[in-house]
């Protein structure tokens, strides 16, 4: 599990190993090959690596929102039973090593170097260019096999049908939610997106979701014959007490996680959910400062619902939102979802090649909404301006959240100064 930055103090960052940085540079260079979604390449890579996917039973978790949190809950529940776990997630926030975890610990930089060398050599042996995500997925498969994990937990990267993670043979799968995101790749509406996500389910095996309403109907309509979809909500497997990840949507995620574990034949102990730390999900990193990766409209609405909840401990405080987005997201809808709960909105430009310019965004909002939000020249400036009497919420892109966490911890961002478009 990722560590929280509660009561964070700035510290000098240890120098990164040159070999590790060279490996990151090499890996990020693979992004130029594009997404290249498909399963034949990953299957060939798994064979070239000696079939590491067969080494451990798998749980496969997709969805528009909530899949990372659900995966973190599953990891905690399995580790609470004394089992050895492998967890694969994306993107990372501050360090590439976060993407591959064994027993709750990020892999070491030197492990990244060795795994990358072996996977890239295997990729060369089968010919053609292997894109970034597939290489990292192959690194995780190899790491989990060699660590002899009891369960491999795979968070889907994009969609599901053609995502590398879908090459595994899961004992149970979940599509936590279905919403509008990555529409240029997955399709323009819920039905199209559900058709891309539903193939993570396997006929005759547990298939779970927390989707509701039109999203649930779209997912049910997209399931293949033999898939018996079960809709789970927060009342199905309640947690006695407050979850470490706040919000009603996290209660849904925790319920799905418990049923995924139960689907393996194990009995989950919900008390182990209290051990979860998953950065960037309504995460309090300092008094009066919260970070949340609400990067699409549904995520922003979930964050807004939590901020508006009168049960929240500091619900009496005014809320100031600092918002940054990627240019390919529905940033205006994210802004609209958060605006009603915010006293003040400040836009920033994340340090990322795909970032949406805060200045251009403010101009667009002025013309479409008749409101021009504040613009800060950067994350540090926005944080320096925050009102100590208010609750400041930094939201939007996961890359922005990674930048803020790095700033607060006093470590360079991006890691090693290497900019990438990698997801």
**What token pair was written down for 41?**
């390449």
Specify the higher pLDDT residue, 235 or 308.
308
What per-residue confidence (pLDDT) applies to 209?
Answer: 98
Q: What is the mean pLDDT of residues 307-335?
A: 96
The model's confidence at residue 134, banded by pLDDT at 50, 70 and 90, is very high
In the chain, ranges of CATH 3.90.190.20 domains: 283-417
Question: Is the pLDDT reported for residue 16 higher than 90?
Answer: no
Percent with pLDDT over 70 in the chain: 95
Out of 1-10, 55-64, 72-81, 159-168, least confident range? 1-10
The model's confidence at residue 4, banded by pLDDT at 50, 70 and 90, is very low
Out of 10-24, 149-163, 301-315, least confident range? 10-24
Cα(289)–Cα(310) distance, integer angstroms = 18
Question: Is the pLDDT reported for residue 87 higher than 70?
Answer: yes
Q: Given the structure tokens 């919403």, which residue do they identify?
A: 179
Q: What is the mean pLDDT of residues 175-182?
A: 95
In the chain, ranges of CATH 3.40.1190.10 domains: 18-275
Would strands 289-292 and 283-286 be described as parallel, antiparallel, or unpaired?
Answer: antiparallel
Using a 10 angstrom Cβ sphere, with 0-12 exposed, 13-18 middle and 19 or more buried, the burial of residue 311 is exposed
Question: Is the pLDDT reported for residue 11 higher than 70?
Answer: no
Q: What is the mean pLDDT of residues 345-372?
A: 97
- DSSP conformation class of 351: S
Separate counts of helices (H) and strands (E) for the chain: 14, 14
Name the packing angle between helices 109-126 and 18-28 (round to 10°). Answer: 40
Q: What is the mean pLDDT of residues 88-110?
A: 97
What per-residue confidence (pLDDT) applies to 9?
Answer: 42
Give the pLDDT confidence of 160-173 residue by residue, as tens digits. Answer: 999 999 999 999 99
* Dmax (CA) of the chain: 61
**What token pair was written down for 343?**
């006293």
* CATH architecture of the region 283-417: Alpha-Beta Complex (3.90)
What per-residue confidence (pLDDT) applies to 397?
Answer: 95
CB contact at 8 A, 212 and 233? yes
The per-residue pLDDT of the chain, averaged, comes to: 94
Neighbour tally for 110: CB within 10 Å: 12
CB contact at 8 A, 256 and 174? yes
Cα(169)–Cα(42) distance, integer angstroms = 13
Out of 2-6, 11-15, 167-171, 344-348, least confident range? 2-6
The model's confidence at residue 110, banded by pLDDT at 50, 70 and 90, is very high
* CATH architecture of the region 18-275: 3-Layer(aba) Sandwich (3.40)
What are the C-alpha distances in Å from 138 to residues 22, 116, 168, 171, 285?
Answer: 19, 9, 11, 20, 33
């Amino acid at each position: 599990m990722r560590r929280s930055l509660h009561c964070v103090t700035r510290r000098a960052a240890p120098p990164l190993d040159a070999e590790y940085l060279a490996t990151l540079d090499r890996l990020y260079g693979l992004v130029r090959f594009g997404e290249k979604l498909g399963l034949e390449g990953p299957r060939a890579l798994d064979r070239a690596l000696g079939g590491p996917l067969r080494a451990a039973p798998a749980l496969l978790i997709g969805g528009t929102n909530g899949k990372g949190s659900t995966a973190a809950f599953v990891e905690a529940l399995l580790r609470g039973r004394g089992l050895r776990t492998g967890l694969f997630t994306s993107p990372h926030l501050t360090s590439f090593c976060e993407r591959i975890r064994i027993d709750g610990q990020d892999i070491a930089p030197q492990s990244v170097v060795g795994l990358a060398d072996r996977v890239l050599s295997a990729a060369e042996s089968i010919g053609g260019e292997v894109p970034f995500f597939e290489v990292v997925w192959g690194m995780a498969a190899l790491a989990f096999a060699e660590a002899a994990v009891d369960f491999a937990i795979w968070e889907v990267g994009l969609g599901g049908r053609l995502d590398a993670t879908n090459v595994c043979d899961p004992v149970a799968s979940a599509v936590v939610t279905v919403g509008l995101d990555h529409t240029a790749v997955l399709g323009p509406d819920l039905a199209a997106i559900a058709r891309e996500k539903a193939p993570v389910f396997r006929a005759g095996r547990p298939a779970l979701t927390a989707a509701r309403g039109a999203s649930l109907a779209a997912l049910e309509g997209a399931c293949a014959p033999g898939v018996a979809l079960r809709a789970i909500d927060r009342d199905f497997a309640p947690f006695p007490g407050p979850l470490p990840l706040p919000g009603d949507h996290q209660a849904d995620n925790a319920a799905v996680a418990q049923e995924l574990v139960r689907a393996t034949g194990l009995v989950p102990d919900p008390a182990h959910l209290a051990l979860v730390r998953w950065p960037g999900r309504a995460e309090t990193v300092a008094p009066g400062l919260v970070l949340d990766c609400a990067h699409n409209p549904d995520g922003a609405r979930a964050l807004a619902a939590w901020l508006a909840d009168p049960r929240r401990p500091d619900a009496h405080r005014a809320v100031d939102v600092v918002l940054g987005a990627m240019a390919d997201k529905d940033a205006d809808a994210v802004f609209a979802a958060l605006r009603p709960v915010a006293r003040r909105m400040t836009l920033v430009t994340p340090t990322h090649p795909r970032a949406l310019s805060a200045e251009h965004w403010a101009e667009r909002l002025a013309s479409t909404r008749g409101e021009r939000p504040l613009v800060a020249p950067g994350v540090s400036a926005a944080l320096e301006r925050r009102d100590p009497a208010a609750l400041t919420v930094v939201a939007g892109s996961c890359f922005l959240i990674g930048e803020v966490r790095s700033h607060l911890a006093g470590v360079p961002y991006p890691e090693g100064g290497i900019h990438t478009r990698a997801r």
